[in-house]
Structure 1
Amino acid sequence: MTWRPWPRGLRARLVVAVVLVTVLGATAAAWASARSARSALVDSARQRLAQTVAGQIGAIAPELTYPPDQGTLDRLRAAVGPNTLVTYRNLRSADDTGTEPVTGALRSAVRARHLIATQVVTAGGRPFLLVGTPIVITAPDGARTSSGIEVYTGRDLTDVEGRVDDLTRSAAYTAALALPLAVLLALLAARSVLRPVRELRDTARRLAAGDLGARSPPQGADELADLAVTVNEMAESLQRMQADARRFAADVSHELRTPLSTLMAVVDVLATAAAGMDSDARESSQLAIAETHRLVALVEDLMEVSRFDAGTARLRLEDVDVAGAVRGCLRARGWLDRVELVAPDGVVLRLDPRRLDVIVANLVGNALSHGEPPVRVQVSVSRDQVRIEVADSGPGLPQDVLPHVFDRFYKADTARPRTPGSGLGLAIALENARLHGGDLTAGNIAGGGARFTLRLPRNQEDG
């Protein structure tokens, strides 16, 4: 099984993407806020400490003697405070805290620029702000010269880091609180964005199912609206093409009726005279007769389909004994000895007997032609409907054929295009079932064989 970490549904992907963007944005904002707050707090601490050290040194500087001795350095260190180191050439004055607030980089910065320099370091697992400054002697004429005394002091930044941590936690809590809102907004956005997508999907499904009147009203002026307009234009084009094709079939079949009637009369004469012909002429005559009958059947089926398409097909309802009607259909075609019929007597249904005959004849003829014996017709009754099942014992319908068995002119075996029949029989049977308010479905039997099930309602009324 392949593991797919990314959601496959469009809604899920949209929600996850929005939530991820929100979380990443909140995290980035929290991180940037923490850095900015830390920088601001450290800068503030640096300025305060530098001002404090400068003030302390300025207060005691007039009392110092130059060149200084060890006592001078000690007084200066004491005036600045703890964590302080004062140097002058080889002299040093440091407190006993164990922390020597000076690094090579800080010392180099102080000596190179002769100005106050600062540096943040970590010592003993705690952050410290180091300040280093030289003491400069100002002459009466304003000239400034270095005294050689350097003062280094450090201040613990633990409280500053604590405040930064508090700000970071506060930003994280804010981001966490924003997560449910982000999910809600993502769901609302997904619903708004996917609604026209779902409508387009439903329209496409209806078009695929044959409902060429399906349309998707465009909403707004975005790409989805453009797509809806394109789909509607495509559906209108298909609808026009279908209407033209149906009109052409109806016109052609209607125009063929008269010449075919004449041709059938000639065929009847030819059939009478065929017995006295030689074998080659008789075979040709029989082929012409069979093909003429096939052409007549095709035209009749086209006429019937055109009536369904035009909505002019009508039922002529009668009270019909279903078992007797099915048995009569089989007897008229000489199938009684080839088909097993299981039908209870006394099942009377109001329907069009001619159209029921067409349905049963198509289903049984299809089973005899494409299935294997035995073929079984079973009639069953429930409170709401009558079921007529036609099953054979052949290999059944292939899975790729099942969705198309009721399509017009569909042939499962394209290598045999001239199979008997017009290719419209099952389509006409389905239309007749629907005209009765029923349905016709196809499937396979578990043990093998195809099964067609006709369902007719028991409350059919005259229309």
Structure 2
Amino acid sequence: MAMAVVSYQLVRRSLIAERENTAVRAAYYDAAIVEAGVNNNVTPDIGTVLRSLDTGESRRAVLQLDGHWHARSADTGLTAAIPAALQAHAATGRVGVQMVRADGGSALVVAVPLEDGDVFYEIDSMNELDHTLRVLALVLTLVALGTAGAGAFVGWNATRYVLRPLIRVADAAQQITAGRHFARLDPATEPDLARLTTSFNHMVDQLSARMERDRRFAADVSHELRSPLQTLAAAASVLDRRRESLDERSGLAAGLVVDEIDRFQRLVNDLLELARTDQPADRQQVDVAELARQACRDHGLDPSIVAVLAGPVVWSVDRRRIRQLFDNLLDNAAGYGGGATAIRLAGGVDRCRIEVDDEGPGVSPEDKPLIWDRFVRGRSQSSSRADGGGTGLGLALVAQHASAHDGAASVHDRPGGGARFRIDLPECL
């Protein structure tokens, strides 16, 4: 656009200067003819002399002779268009040129002094030049806009071409972050970035292998712990049944042993479940509302707290995962949130949603992004550690089960106090 403006100004100045020079030369020539016609006749016919000039359609001649104005035809405002400053300048015997407005357009007035203080004026219309400049301005504007648009299009495509490999890397990294460790880059797609592609794939392979070793280690340890735990649980059960025959301190110790063994078993079960979360969801048609009501009954809650807000309640989900998701959220609400007050279900074409409300103290803003990690408890949960005896894996499993459905888990503040745990599952219908 700047080049167009500069080009227009340069061309405009050049055309105006050329037109001015042409007008001055023509005025000198016509002035010589008029002066000869006036001086060669005792009683000259000024109108005839002026009409003899070949001025065409754009130039009009005016003669100031002995203080009187003469023109080729009736004065239609030509003399009024001649500025007083130009007349004063010509009266000093000097040629003058000035741009004026005449007949609704611009015009160039050239003053040529004659003998005896007479002055010949020629008014040259600039309408044709103005039209040419307007066309030039329009053409330059269109060219500038077209060039800018073409440049933007080329730049946009060039940017996409340059950034396309990085976008692929970012997409692959996002998929890996979401738990889809099979994502890889194709070296054949971007030969210029073969080294980056190979290094990225190698890094993902190493990461996947490390995670698989960790998963298998957790699964193996948890599996090996189950047998001795079952033996301990059986022995603790016998001890618990005979607690009344023991003295007070022994009875208290027996109760603690039973509670800790029970918590240990839950921890081992959660670790085994966590080791299985990288497996794809086994989707089937499930009545999620009835599944939620059954979870409420098993936790001693009134099934009427389950409410269907919208859409169908038969979703394509993994029954086992969704049932454990309900169990963990209800356990979390019972242990740290004063108990669940509502379960809301909403089915939609693009997304299905589960919400579980509790009436506890809520989750602080700084704890909201942390409570989904393994063995992490918020401040309110840590203060309830003695009551719940949780494993610290419940919400981590909730997040993993949501991720297995390509969904996400989040926590929000419930209107009126408490926490609202929300699970969004895309494309479940």
**Counterpart Cα distance in 1 of 2:344 and 2:225:** 38
How far did 1:383 drift? 7.5
**Counterpart Cα distance in 2 of 1:432 and 1:233:** 28
Residues 362 and 426 of structure 1 are in contact (CA less than 8 Å); yes or no, is this contact kept in structure 2? yes
After superposition, the Cα gap between the structure-2 partners of 1:402 and 1:228, relative to the gap in structure 1 and judged at 3 Å, is: farther
1:378 aligns with 2:347: no
How far did 1:287 drift? 2.0
How far did 1:430 drift? 4.9
Residues 443 and 452 of structure 1 are in contact (CA less than 8 Å); yes or no, is this contact kept in structure 2? yes
How far did 1:225 drift? 4.6
Gapped regions of structure 1 (runs ≥ 5): 1-18, 25-29, 31-172
Does 288-297 or 381-390 show the bigger shift? 381-390
> Which position in structure 2 is the counterpart of 1:198?
167
1:394 aligns with 2:360: yes
1:215 aligns with 2:184: yes
Q: How many equivalent pairs are there?
A: 294
**Counterpart Cα distance in 2 of 1:331 and 1:247:** 34
* Equivalences for residues 57-456 of structure 1 within 5 A: 182-218=151-187, 220=190, 225-310=194-279, 322=289, 326-336=292-302, 341-343=305-307, 349=314, 357-372=323-338, 375-380=340-345, 388-413=354-379, 416=382, 419=385, 420-430=389-399, 441-453=410-422
Partner AA of 1:193 in structure 2 = V
How far did 1:279 drift? 3.1
Partner AA of 1:289 in structure 2 = V
**Counterpart Cα distance in 1 of 2:313 and 2:272:** 30
**Counterpart Cα distance in 2 of 1:186 and 1:328:** 59
What's the secondary structure of 1:309's corresponding residue?
A: coil
Q: CA RMSD in A?
A: 5.0
**Counterpart Cα distance in 2 of 1:181 and 1:387:** 46
After superposition, the Cα gap between the structure-2 partners of 1:379 and 1:207, relative to the gap in structure 1 and judged at 3 Å, is: closer
Partner AA of 2:324 in structure 1 = V
After superposition, the Cα gap between the structure-2 partners of 1:321 and 1:231, relative to the gap in structure 1 and judged at 3 Å, is: closer
After superposition, the Cα gap between the structure-2 partners of 1:193 and 1:383, relative to the gap in structure 1 and judged at 3 Å, is: closer
How far did 1:256 drift? 1.6
How far did 1:394 drift? 3.4
> Which position in structure 1 is the counterpart of 2:100?
none
After superposition, the Cα gap between the structure-2 partners of 1:267 and 1:314, relative to the gap in structure 1 and judged at 3 Å, is: farther
How far did 1:376 drift? 1.2
**Counterpart Cα distance in 1 of 2:271 and 2:236:** 21
Normalized against structure 2, the TM-score is what? 0.53
**Counterpart Cα distance in 2 of 1:348 and 1:189:** 48
Q: Percent identity?
A: 34
Residues 340 and 376 of structure 1 are in contact (CA less than 8 Å); yes or no, is this contact kept in structure 2? no
**Counterpart Cα distance in 2 of 1:211 and 1:355:** 18
What's the secondary structure of 2:276's corresponding residue?
A: helix
After superposition, the Cα gap between the structure-2 partners of 1:208 and 1:439, relative to the gap in structure 1 and judged at 3 Å, is: closer
